[in-house]
Chains A and B, each alone.
Chain A
């Protein structure tokens, strides 16, 4: 498969079927998995036995590495990130989705850190300057503070 070689997430090159899919931040995955786990608890007595090892480990992972815990905060984070991104480049929404999730997962504190993680927020956007990125990071840290 030729696609295998060209895959590179740092340049946001990912397989075609994943471009159509929606990227999820760790905190969103945590909400989904916890909801599913609660449903299982209602229907069976020993839910831990019902779920796969992959489910169990994923749930542990996303719980440990989620920056935001509350559903409201999670929704706000996605809103803020998509607002800043879409204003700059509307065309490649699907690709940006993954950049958005990286930022939401890692919560960079400085502009340099953010650019190092997701170079595309700097290079591909015509007008995405340091100020705009800084404002975005500020907004995100505010959510965290008030959570």
Chain B
């Protein structure tokens, strides 16, 4: 399911980005850093929709970098066990329950031939478990 959620992140900013554009620099760096990322806890961060507040910056010892706590609103996609949703089939491979037909267009067909599932079909499914693959959205 998609959620609109408020998240927080400590952003480190190089001093060369200070000045009147500090806020814009901070926000564009935030977008670059978090949009498209995935964590097991919050799921996929799809898009940042707004900034709630930017806290006071703290100069890091020895480096000159400044850390700003940023609260932002974003759209995340987080699947839950037991959730029902619709999906498009991208790949069909062998499993147990239904008849698997290999060949040019691999598909599942029920024994009476009334239902056929192949690539690009739309199916309604229930999530029985989730696994995080942080590098890819499937």
Interface positions of A (Cβ within 8 A of B): 7-11, 13-15, 17-18, 20-26, 28-29, 32-33, 36, 51-55, 57-58, 61-62, 64-65, 98, 101-102, 105-106, 117
Contacts and interface: CB of A to CB of B under 8 A. Distances in A.
Interface string B20-49: 000000000000000111100110111101
Contacts of B75: 24, 29, 32-33, 58
A98 B1 contact: yes
B126 interface: yes
Contacts of A57: 137
B85 interface: yes
Contacts of B47: 32-33, 36, 55, 58
Contacts, number: 105
A7 B81 contact: yes
Given A33-B75, A54-B137, A57-B137, A23 B2 contact: yes
Contact of A52 (B36, B77, B127): B36
Given A7-B81, A22-B4, A24-B3, A55 B86 contact: no
B4 A24 contact: yes
Contact of A22 (B3, B36, B46, B122): B3
Interface residues of B, number: 34
Interface of B: 1-6, 35-38, 41-42, 44-47, 49, 75, 77-78, 80-88, 122, 124, 126-127, 137
Given A10-B126, A26-B2, A106-B124, 8 more contacts: A18-B3, A18-B5, A32-B47, A54-B35, A55-B35, A58-B44, A58-B77, A101-B1
Given A23-B3, A32-B49, A54-B137, A9 B80 contact: yes
Interface SS, A side:
helix
Nearest to A57: B137
A10 B36 contact: no
A106 B6 contact: no
A106 B3 CA distance: 16
A9 B77 contact: no
A9 B29 CA distance: 34
Contacts of A102: 1, 83-85
